[in-house]
Amino acid sequence: MTSTEPRTAHHRAGIVPAAPRTGRLRPLGLDEVRITGGFWAERQSVNHRHTLAHIGRWLERAGWSRNFDLAAAGSLPADRRGREFSDSEIYKYLEALAWEIGRTGDGELEATFRDLVGRVERAQEPDGYLNTNFGRPGQAPRWSDLEWGHELYCLGHLCQAAVARARTRPDADDGLLAVARRAADLVCEVFGPKGVQSVCGHAEIEVGLAELARVTGEQRYLRQAQLFVARRGTGTLRPIEWGPQYFQDDAPVRQATVLRGHAVRANYLAAGAVDVAVDTGDEDLLSALVTQWDNTVARRTYITGGQGSHHQDEAFGEDWVLPPDRAYSETCAGIASIMFSWRLLLARGDTRYGDLIERTLYNVVATSPSASGTAFYYANTLHQRTPGSVPDPDTASLRAESSLRAPWFGVSCCPPNVARTFASLDALVATADTQGVQIHQFADCRIQTRLDNGELVALDVQTDYPRRGSVRLTPTRDAADPWTLSVRVPHWADGARLVVTRAAGEVSTTHAAPGWASVRHAFRTGDVVELVLPMRPRLTHPDPRIDAVRGCVAVERGPEVYCLESVDLDAVSHGAVTDVADVRIDDTAPVEDHDGRPLACLVVTAAGPPDDLAWPYAERSLEPAPSTSFDVPLIPYHDWAERGPSTMRVWLPVAGRSHVDHGTTGEQRSEQKGNAIR
Amino acid sequence: MTSTEPRTAHHRAGIVPAAPRTGRLRPLGLDEVRITGGFWAERQSVNHRHTLAHIGRWLERAGWSRNFDLAAAGSLPADRRGREFSDSEIYKYLEALAWEIGRTGDGELEATFRDLVGRVERAQEPDGYLNTNFGRPGQAPRWSDLEWGHELYCLGHLCQAAVARARTRPDADDGLLAVARRAADLVCEVFGPKGVQSVCGHAEIEVGLAELARVTGEQRYLRQAQLFVARRGTGTLRPIEWGPQYFQDDAPVRQATVLRGHAVRANYLAAGAVDVAVDTGDEDLLSALVTQWDNTVARRTYITGGQGSHHQDEAFGEDWVLPPDRAYSETCAGIASIMFSWRLLLARGDTRYGDLIERTLYNVVATSPSASGTAFYYANTLHQRTPGSVPDPDTASLRAESSLRAPWFGVSCCPPNVARTFASLDALVATADTQGVQIHQFADCRIQTRLDNGELVALDVQTDYPRRGSVRLTPTRDAADPWTLSVRVPHWADGARLVVTRAAGEVSTTHAAPGWASVRHAFRTGDVVELVLPMRPRLTHPDPRIDAVRGCVAVERGPEVYCLESVDLDAVSHGAVTDVADVRIDDTAPVEDHDGRPLACLVVTAAGPPDDLAWPYAERSLEPAPSTSFDVPLIPYHDWAERGPSTMRVWLPVAGRSHVDHGTTGEQRSEQKGNAIR
């Protein structure tokens, strides 16, 4: 990344989920970056081995796949199953399969994919209409409920699935792209310049049409996406209980200053609007979206990267409304936020977009699925007050807010959304520009791409991140000309170093400030560029305007947010303390790193105030006296709730100054520490 | 209240909303207590002059009254308007009218009442069925949707209206009681021991049937109420998204330990269950309800007395989940809580029930209506972050969470609920037992009742409460025998005194601890019993388990919770500080009482942390430095939002110890004070 490079460049499309025509950075696709090991490879493996089949089974079991068969057989609507948007889960599943087939060449998945595409294709009407919930005798008419019907939303996901397939298997004859084109042609006809002057209550068609235009070269799709973006916010949707901001119909996209309303809708819309902006050269629109991202990240985003704090309408709260208990932080909103951030990263090249993507990947997306890949969080609370109960693995959860991960939901958008994200994750790792290659996410991987000047560059990345902070980048080809290797230094990484070792043996170490760290060189095999990130645990304070976590701190280490889970408290205290409500953190004691796990000094208080009040408000302070202290290991937030019902906190109340002397002495502390972590 | 009195006594029913057959205390009705002036008389007057007519107009305008005409004419369901429970608003309105006619004898209201009763009566089916939303061709069958249909709920309100009328106008020939009896007979038939073994998704029929039994002497109604209470919690309702606890179907009433789920449903059910318990002598059931009240008050109640913290399902949160911003604290839940508390007060005689009633009346019920009586809060937030906008007085609000009071709602339960509460408020002021009279609420009033021993006792109450703390009780008849005058000393009133002045001139002053203060005497005209309550402002700390208000205090004075409204901040600072987000309270400075208004020393901070962060979490503390301090008048919470859009806080963050020295000096402070309050 040098300042002499052109502001935007024109790209050829790769095997990527988003292929903007212009932008500072060119995404590298599955043929150019391949994750080979480590944290994300493990998630991808579980996704491949367990999650995809789990989703397929539940789609059948819930009857959502069968809706397409019924539609083809003409026996809808009496037997239709699922909510009005259930078609979209089939399309997200198809998209996940397409990426996974592209990544692995799995023949069994290919057969599954082709079978399901056939069922979808047979349900399509002759004029291209495709939705199992509308338009047949006994169903509501097509497009009669734009507010809640989700027809265009579903078709947006259909387009994304078709695009994934077209990019990963451009020569496949499965027909999905043709299905999507027929549907998109109908959409352009019905909602075109002279058609219905409105939008879908749930944005998504915008990003789908923009990508379909990129894959097919059909400009009409891009213009239709542009129309949908331009119409949004002009009040074309009917009033609903939660107001027009729920579906971003309160203000035009180019005038809005922050994301608001339903968090998934808001981010999908923003992502689609970036697509429109960069492909039409609309700098004003792009600037508005950058401003929206800035304000949303500064004032409406959880420490995990999660977005959306309302349960009621799955929506953003006002600025600073970020309660940890009942944090909604919907998994799909995290994924949608990554889609938005990634598009701005490609357009603008700033590392802060990669920062938020990393934070959201580790602390929202990785949190949703269980280690087994067969249960999910729909919402991701930051404070679990009661242990809850284990959901039945054979029952779909009616509620988004189960205390432990559930196998499936009445609204089950998150499992296939997680699956498509993991299956295409390689494409978020690195980009190229005219000068060289940029590393955004740290994972063991192999990268190879041809720069615009024709130079073929290749490198391997080796790291044990996020367990350890070393990221080694080793070019695997001798370059004829210099090129620039850039690596994102995360915003939290004060004190990072870049150690460059030449094949000849020369070593140079430089301070790497947050932002881009770059080395320009005619790299040769044997050169090593090592980014060394400081992985000490950090105590993190919230902005005081976030009232809900006043007087608390969180512990972070590298990109991971940590939490206190009652299981660990119970173990360390030998059963004496079983609830996270009963402790405070001593923020005067350093949080130590024991083999990659932060160990916090927690002050244990009595279970409640001195006497358990009949009325919980009093003229005197009710802060209970501390009784003792323990060193307690914290765990990465994404790993919580894997050991049965528990209570959990991300934000830990700070012990009052008068309390921290009452605990064990430093000497006792280090003795206990030995016990605590074995 | 002496310890020798019998545990329960049998009562004759008065002109009261709830007339238990047994209990420690006998309620005094509208013929025995009459509020004559002061805080509540003013609300009753506004209710009489403005609110009742406002409700009547909106019921017509919304088409909810007309539904009954359509039903009578056979032209439902095509033209039916309103939600499935809209009939209940007509019944609550009728109940309010009945009480107000009973209180005032207003002939115009009487005509309105009779007209509306006629319209209701004509809509009743020959077999007694009465609901405009079910049972006709084109409508769902009767009782086909017990979860959401609200048929029994509506009939519960019908019974309460009929009971109010029967007690206030026992000889009226309007027919409402007959309508209610026919409907109740049908309910007993359909849902009796051999009938449908289920309950209504919204409790209310229980309290309605129990009262109808009391008025009519028909024991079948009581037995049916008993059946409904016994069936609740046995899982007879179908699963819904929010789980069975939403409608208290998760645990039998006699096994539950705390109120949970939808807060209005929970409290109506509890009130009806108390009615059943006391009229059937079911001490176990009563004990369970006492426990539920105890735990709900200790762990799930806002400082205002408000209950229910979830917007999504209008429900109680888990223990300690009491966020001030987006506090739901539904007006109707406050009213329902008063109904529950009042019944326990009559049964058990403890002052803590009166304490909660008082708190809820001043800080929830009085908060809902505007000073004009024509706009309402449905939900009562304790923290308003953005000024919002003024609702159109001609438009029903779709949303419960408007930032300013709205004239009407799509779900408009609160206006008629407030109206019926104010119209029958006299009945919450005082009770009698075998020994004498108990004063529960402090208002200018006249009381006269005949004790069980035949003694006619009478007294006047004069007070400027809650502005001032003196409550003067003056017997207005010379008694032949001694009787006991008891007065509730609120739980917050440490330092209260009871000053007894005999007609002969003798004066005695005693300390009156929270609880009952009693004087037994053969009172004579000229005797004065004066309760002197300490009205200094109090700084109130929350239980630390209420995480959402950690590091904050509230200001209370007497029974009123105070708040900081930005209008006052703006005025005192001459426009320099306009948002309640920018101040902290100096809790080391006394909150002074200036002419009945607390004046708090607020430390003003910069608008945000030192630099406005791109990411609102950091390794250093982000608490902004203070710039200055002001003395700012606080206002009673119930008066907020009467001066246009504003921001508001009940819970004020405490300034850090290092900050409180930076402000103005004490001398400057008292100078500013002069400016501040003029």
User: Rg for chain B (alpha carbons), in Å?
Assistant: 26
pLDDT at B666: 38
Question: Is the CB of B317 less than 8 angstroms away from the CB of A297?
Answer: no
pLDDT at A673: 37
Residue among A294, A303, A613 whose CB faces B543 most closely: A613
Instruction: Determine contact: B616 vs chain A, CB below 8 A.
Output: yes
Distance CA B62, CA B70 (A): 14
**Alpha helices in B306-360, H assignment, sequence order:** 331-348, 351-360
Residues B205-244 have pLDDT tens digits of 999 999 999 999 999 999 999 999 999 999 999 999 899 9
Question: Is the CB of A541 less than 8 angstroms away from the CB of B312?
Answer: no
What mean pLDDT value characterizes chain B?
Answer: 92
SS3 annotation, B368-388: CECCCCCCECCCCCCEECCCC
Size of interface A-B (CB pairs under 8 A): 156
Burial class for B107, CB neighbours closer than 10 Å (0-12, 13-18, 19+): exposed
Instruction: Determine contact: B524 vs chain A, CB below 8 A.
Output: no
Question: Is the CB of B617 less than 8 angstroms away from the CB of A320?
Answer: no
Question: Is the CB of B297 less than 8 angstroms away from the CB of A546?
Answer: no
Q: Which residue has the tokens 């296939």?
A: A416
Instruction: Determine contact: A394 vs chain B, CB below 8 A.
Output: no
Residues B372-398 have pLDDT tens digits of 999 999 999 999 999 988 888 899 987
Degrees to nearest 5, angle at CA A14 with A8 and A17: 90
SS3 annotation, B175-224: CHHHHHHHHHHHHHHHHCCCCCCCCCCCCCHHHHHHHHHHHHCCHHHHHH
Burial class for A7, CB neighbours closer than 10 Å (0-12, 13-18, 19+): exposed
Burial class for B108, CB neighbours closer than 10 Å (0-12, 13-18, 19+): exposed
Q: Which of residues 557-596 of A touch B (CB under 8 A)?
A: 581
Least-confidence region, from A377-386, B128-137, B390-399: B390-399
Closest residue of chain B to A294, computed from CA coordinates? B614
Q: Which of residues 231-250 of B touch A (CB under 8 A)?
A: 239-243
Question: Is the CB of B541 less than 8 angstroms away from the CB of A612?
Answer: no
Question: Is the CB of A317 less than 8 angstroms away from the CB of B326?
Answer: yes
Helix (H) or strand (E) holding A294: helix A283-299
Question: Is the CB of B653 less than 8 angstroms away from the CB of A544?
Answer: yes
CA distance A477 to chain B (A): 39
Residues B81-110 have pLDDT tens digits of 999 999 999 999 999 999 999 999 999 999
Q: Is the per-residue pLDDT at B572 higher than 50?
A: yes
Least Cα distance to B229 among B257, B262, B251, B260 occurs for B251
The pLDDT confidence band at residue B657, using thresholds 50, 70 and 90, is: low
Q: Are B544 and A653 in contact (CB under 8 A)?
A: yes
CA distance A567 to chain B (A): 20
Cis peptide before B77 (omega within 30 of 0): yes
Distance CA B234, CA B367 (A): 37
Instruction: Determine contact: A491 vs chain B, CB below 8 A.
Output: yes
B contacts of A410 (beta carbons < 8 Å): 241
pLDDT at A675: 34
Instruction: Determine contact: A610 vs chain B, CB below 8 A.
Output: no
Instruction: Determine contact: B119 vs chain A, CB below 8 A.
Output: no
Calculate the CA dihedral of residues A316, A319, A322, A327 and round it to 10 degrees.
Answer: -10
Question: Is the CB of B324 less than 8 angstroms away from the CB of A542?
Answer: no
Mutate to test the interface with A, among B291, B539, B617, B621 (most CBs of A within 10 A): B617
Instruction: Determine contact: A504 vs chain B, CB below 8 A.
Output: no
Least Cα distance to A109 among A87, A92, A93 occurs for A93
User: Rg for chain A (alpha carbons), in Å?
Assistant: 26
Distance CA B171, CA B173 (A): 6
Residues A93-127 have pLDDT tens digits of 999 999 999 999 999 999 999 999 999 999 999 99
A contacts of B540 (beta carbons < 8 Å): 617-619
As given in the structure block, the two tokens for residue B57 are 């107009």
Question: Is the CB of A398 less than 8 angstroms away from the CB of B240?
Answer: yes
Q: Is the per-residue pLDDT at B422 higher than 90?
A: yes
Q: Which residue has the tokens 């238990």?
A: B20
Instruction: Determine contact: A258 vs chain B, CB below 8 A.
Output: no
CA distance B83 to chain A (A): 13
Query: Half-sphere exposure of B93 toward its Cβ, with a 13 Å CA cutoff?
Result: 29
Question: Is the CB of A608 less than 8 angstroms away from the CB of B551?
Answer: no
Average of per-residue pLDDT across B317-321: 96
Residues B540-568 have pLDDT tens digits of 999 999 999 999 999 999 999 999 999 99
Long-range contacts formed by B306-310: CB under 8 A, 24+ apart: B306/B330, B306/B333, B306/B334, B306/B360, B306/B363, B306/B364, B306/B380, B306/B382, B307/B259, B307/B263, B307/B267, B307/B333, B307/B334, B307/B337, B308/B262, B308/B263, B308/B264, B308/B333, B310/A311, B310/A312, B310/A326
pLDDT at B604: 83
Residues A275-299 have pLDDT tens digits of 999 999 999 999 999 999 999 999 9
The pLDDT confidence band at residue B415, using thresholds 50, 70 and 90, is: very high
Q: Are A420 and A96 in contact (CB under 8 A)?
A: yes
Q: Measured in whole angstroms, how far is the alpha carbon of residue A626 from the centre of its chain? A: 39
Mutate to test the interface with A, among B395, B543, B546 (most CBs of A within 10 A): B543
The pLDDT confidence band at residue A456, using thresholds 50, 70 and 90, is: very high
Distance CA A193, CA A181 (A): 18
Dihedral sign of CA atoms A109, A28, A38, A525 in order: positive
Least Cα distance to A302 among A383, A372, A221, A230 occurs for A383
Closest residue of chain A to B384, computed from CA coordinates? A318
B contacts of A645 (beta carbons < 8 Å): none
How many residues make up chain A in this entry? 678
CA distance B567 to chain A (A): 20
Instruction: Determine contact: A624 vs chain B, CB below 8 A.
Output: yes
Distance CA B413, CA B424 (A): 17
Instruction: Determine contact: B310 vs chain A, CB below 8 A.
Output: yes
Q: Is A588 helix (H, G, I), strand (E, B) or coil?
A: coil
pLDDT at A609: 64
**Dihedrals phi, psi of A58, to nearest 5 degrees:** -70, -35
pLDDT at B3: 40
Helix axes A351-360, A331-348, angle to 10 degrees: 160
The pLDDT confidence band at residue A3, using thresholds 50, 70 and 90, is: very low
Q: How much of chain A is in helix, strand and coil states, percent to nearest 5?
A: 35, 20, 45
Least-confidence region, from A660-674, B11-25, B347-361, B552-566: A660-674
Distance CA B582, CA B585 (A): 10
A contacts of B246 (beta carbons < 8 Å): none
As given in the structure block, the two tokens for residue A600 are 């916090």
B contacts of A323 (beta carbons < 8 Å): 323, 548
The pLDDT confidence band at residue A6, using thresholds 50, 70 and 90, is: very low
Q: Which of residues 409-468 of B touch A (CB under 8 A)?
A: 410
CA distance A239 to chain B (A): 9
Average of per-residue pLDDT across A294-321: 96
Average of per-residue pLDDT across A41-69: 98
Mutate to test the interface with B, among A337, A412, A545 (most CBs of B within 10 A): A545
Closest residue of chain A to B491, computed from CA coordinates? A615
Average of per-residue pLDDT across B408-427: 96
Instruction: Determine contact: A617 vs chain B, CB below 8 A.
Output: yes
Instruction: Determine contact: A382 vs chain B, CB below 8 A.
Output: no
Distance CA B439, CA B433 (A): 11
Question: Is the CB of B312 less than 8 angstroms away from the CB of A311?
Answer: yes
Distance CA B271, CA B266 (A): 9
Helix (H) or strand (E) holding A530: strand A528-532
- CB within 8 Å of B222: residues ≥ 6 apart: B209, B210, B213, B276, B279, B280
The amino acid sitting at B596 is G
Residues A623-674 have pLDDT tens digits of 888 888 889 999 999 999 999 999 999 999 999 765 444 334 333 443 333 3
Residues A511-534 have pLDDT tens digits of 999 999 999 999 999 999 999 999
